Structure 1
Amino acid sequence: MAGGLFALLDDIAVLAKAAAASVDDVAAAAGRASVKATGVIVDDTAVTPRYVEGLSPARELPIIKKIAIGSLRNKLLFILPAALLLSQFLPQALTPLLMLGGTYLCFEGAEKIWEKISGHEEGEAGEAHEAGKVADESAITGAAIRTDFILSAEIMVISLNEVADEPFLSRAAILIVVAFLITILVYGVVALIVKMDDVGLHLAENGRTDGGKALGRGLVAAMPKLLTTLSTVGIAAMLWVGGHILLVGLDDLAHEYGWSILAHPYEWVHHAEEWVHGATGALGGVLGWITNTIGSAILGLIVGAIVVAILHVIPRKGGHSEGNADEHAAPAADSPAADETH
């Protein structure tokens, strides 16, 4: 009897260890998958604070909470089921879909650069904020959640690609962990950023020591610089991550369908990375990674610039041409020839 009890306890212990190992595996896989989505995460974190600019400080955190809940709902109720079904029944579509997301990332990064260069730096967050001045909080929240849907879809697809070889239930568990992890990370950081100037202002006005007041003034002064830096890092990360997705995707398609020409960009960047790694000694690993990152970012910028030209530059030039034609046609109506006709 006692022997049977000990055997049962031993079996329970084995099952508990197996369950703990599974949890560890899921957590580790979720962590790896989340790291691959770094560029989108940074962009998401950089964009969201702009939705609450100019609003009452008392409403900032409640609105961020609503956006975070909407983001989690996007991931769990809409994106996750679609991604799992796709990976289960149409896995060959995962690489093209991932490349489509990578192209969008490249476009987003290049578009932000184009906006800075052309002086039309608006963006969705700025437009939503302008709309928020004449609309209610639900309009601001809705605009933020719609933007988040695109970024969340990219995060989940990138993460799914990292665990595509896992069993179905493991994929589901890992992506659920990723959804919660990314949402908590992004909107936790956003909340800290948004309230940083309030904390700084409180310290500057009510600090008990000169050092505390100086810290408060420093926090207030650092807020705009932090947002600018975060935005710049986000642009660079989008070009790098998007370009790297395209590099790897082209190489995968080349091996799958035998289209060797598609593998050339990946091979060029890979050979450059290996050469730098071998030629720089102890710093080879870091400098090799930087080389790969620069190569990926260059491809991302090229692809993004092409999409920006197609969507923005060429149509704008066409519009100017039509406008110029109308301007030339208008004086003709007032010309002597036109008077004679009348």
Structure 2
Amino acid sequence: MPSGLVALLDDVAAIAKLAAASVDDVAAASMKASSKAVGVVVDDAAVTPKYVSGLTPARELPIIWRIAKGSLRNKLLFLLPAALLLSAFVPWIITPILMIGGLYLAFEGAEKILGSLLGHHAAEDEAAAGEQSPEQLETSKVAGAVRTDLILSAEIMAIALAEVSDQPIVTQAAALIAVSLVITAGVYGVVGLIVKMDDIGLHLAQRENAVTQRIGRGMVAAMPVVLGAIAKIGTVAMLWVGGGILVHGLEEFHFTTIPHTAEVVAAWFAGLLSFAPGIGHWFGFALASAVVGLVAGGILALIVPRIMALFGKEAAH
């Protein structure tokens, strides 16, 4: 089902396959991957900026750098060895693991929406933030971002690995390393640019040229709105990414009703936007995936707190 998140990750898989043609071609494949990183940025760039909200501007880039290092650590120290071992000995387990990750993302997104509607989590988050020192708040935000990145990185690594699984182990590792480095640099480079746009605007506003000043002031005025919108998009992105992983996993296991429905929705939007069918198809599949993510995540968001409360009561006794 080459649409939505799956289509973007299929692009990453194609890059990995190209890299696997020869270890000597890894550098060239990495350069080509830079152009493909934009697709993955749609998800990560929407999710990550919310983790620097509420912190001082001077700490934004250092925090993003910490998240980027955590992302590389996820890919190279944990996911790469795990992916190679699983591929060699139990390849069938990769899809179920990815689906568990998709459920986690869907749960996190649905929980944020429910918390926003009910007003519970906003108050809890503010209280928790108030109890933390700036260093503790920064550490907790970085940890949350790295946890979310782990799921997205696992999806990228698994799809890429699937395309090079017939290659020698050294070539597989080289291809995955190339994809990891280029995708991480592309994603967090763009994220850093997004969160520093207000500083760029302030610099332009201080220039002597009147037009440049107006552009700078406009950027400064717009960025709080833009960052607020990106934070909301980040929550929705968790749903469409998580839902997309679930839909793709169901298709892999030949449970085709939901994947087929998602494809029908995507095809309908493609026909509706006849002047840009590719965009329509992507939007339709993303919308269907978000609905799947919202339903699955919503069920978990209602069940998990009750289970945790139950275990909490048992522990108290």
Confirm or deny a common fold (TM above 0.5): yes
Per-residue displacement from partner, 1:11-43 (whole Å, max 9, x unpaired)? Answer: xxxxxx9666454456557876x5675564134
1:177 and 1:200 map into 2 onto residues whose CA distance is 34
| TM-score, length of structure 1 as denominator length | 0.69
Q: 1:93 to 1:37 in 2, by over 3 A?
A: farther
The letter of the residue matching 2:294 is L
**Equivalences for residues 11-50 of structure 1 within 5 A:** 21=25, 23-25=27-29, 28=32, 37-38=40-41, 40-50=43-53
After TM superposition, give the deviation of residue 135 of structure 1 in Å.
4.8
* Pair 1:160 & 2:157 matched: yes
Per-residue displacement from partner, 1:148-194 (whole Å, max 9, x unpaired)? Answer: 33223212221123221312333322322233223323332333333
1:60 and 1:311 map into 2 onto residues whose CA distance is 33
After TM superposition, give the deviation of residue 220 of structure 1 in Å.
1.7
1:38 and 1:226 map into 2 onto residues whose CA distance is 16
CA RMSD of aligned residues (A): 3.5
The letter of the residue matching 1:41 is D
Moved more, 116-125 or 72-81: 116-125
2:180 and 2:208 map into 1 onto residues whose CA distance is 42
The letter of the residue matching 1:178 is V
After TM superposition, give the deviation of residue 46 of structure 1 in Å.
2.4
2:191 and 2:176 map into 1 onto residues whose CA distance is 22
**Alignment match of 1:149 (pick from 146, 149, 167):** 146
Partner SS, residue 143 of structure 1: helix
After TM superposition, give the deviation of residue 91 of structure 1 in Å.
1.0
Contact 1:269 1:292 survives alignment (8 Å): yes
Q: Which residue in the other structure is 2:101 paired with?
A: 101
Larger radius of gyration: 1
* Pair 1:171 & 2:164 matched: no
Contact 2:22 2:171 survives alignment (8 Å): no
Q: Which residue in the other structure is 2:290 paired with?
A: 297
**Alignment match of 1:308 (pick from 277, 298, 301):** 301
1:292 and 1:184 map into 2 onto residues whose CA distance is 27
Q: Which residue in the other structure is 2:207 paired with?
A: 207
2:197 and 2:100 map into 1 onto residues whose CA distance is 36
**Equivalences for residues 240-255 of structure 1 within 5 A:** 240-254=240-254
Q: 1:40 to 1:21 in 2, by over 3 A?
A: same
Q: Which residue in the other structure is 1:288 paired with?
A: 281
Contact 2:107 2:300 survives alignment (8 Å): yes
Q: Which residue in the other structure is 1:74 paired with?
A: 74
After TM superposition, give the deviation of residue 44 of structure 1 in Å.
3.9
Contact 1:48 1:125 survives alignment (8 Å): no
Partner SS, residue 165 of structure 1: helix
Contact 2:38 2:186 survives alignment (8 Å): no
2:126 and 2:189 map into 1 onto residues whose CA distance is 21
Partner SS, residue 268 of structure 1: helix
| TM-score, length of structure 2 as denominator length | 0.74
After TM superposition, give the deviation of residue 123 of structure 1 in Å.
10
Q: Which residue in the other structure is 1:7 paired with?
A: none
Per-residue displacement from partner, 1:87-131 (whole Å, max 9, x unpaired)? Answer: 222211111011111111211221222222122354999788545
Gaps of 5+ in 1: 1-16, 255-261, 319-342
1:200 and 1:241 map into 2 onto residues whose CA distance is 32
2:281 and 2:59 map into 1 onto residues whose CA distance is 46
1:99 and 1:119 map into 2 onto residues whose CA distance is 29
| Greater relative contact order (Cα < 8 A, sep 6+) | 2
The letter of the residue matching 1:169 is V
1:193 and 1:26 map into 2 onto residues whose CA distance is 23
Identity %: 38
After TM superposition, give the deviation of residue 281 of structure 1 in Å.
5.4
Contact 1:41 1:182 survives alignment (8 Å): no
Partner SS, residue 250 of structure 2: helix
**Equivalences for residues 196-275 of structure 1 within 5 A:** 196-204=197-205, 206-254=206-254, 262-274=255-267
Contact 2:202 2:216 survives alignment (8 Å): yes
Per-residue displacement from partner, 1:269-311 (whole Å, max 9, x unpaired)? Answer: 2344446656875554443333322222211111111111113
Q: Which residue in the other structure is 2:110 paired with?
A: 110
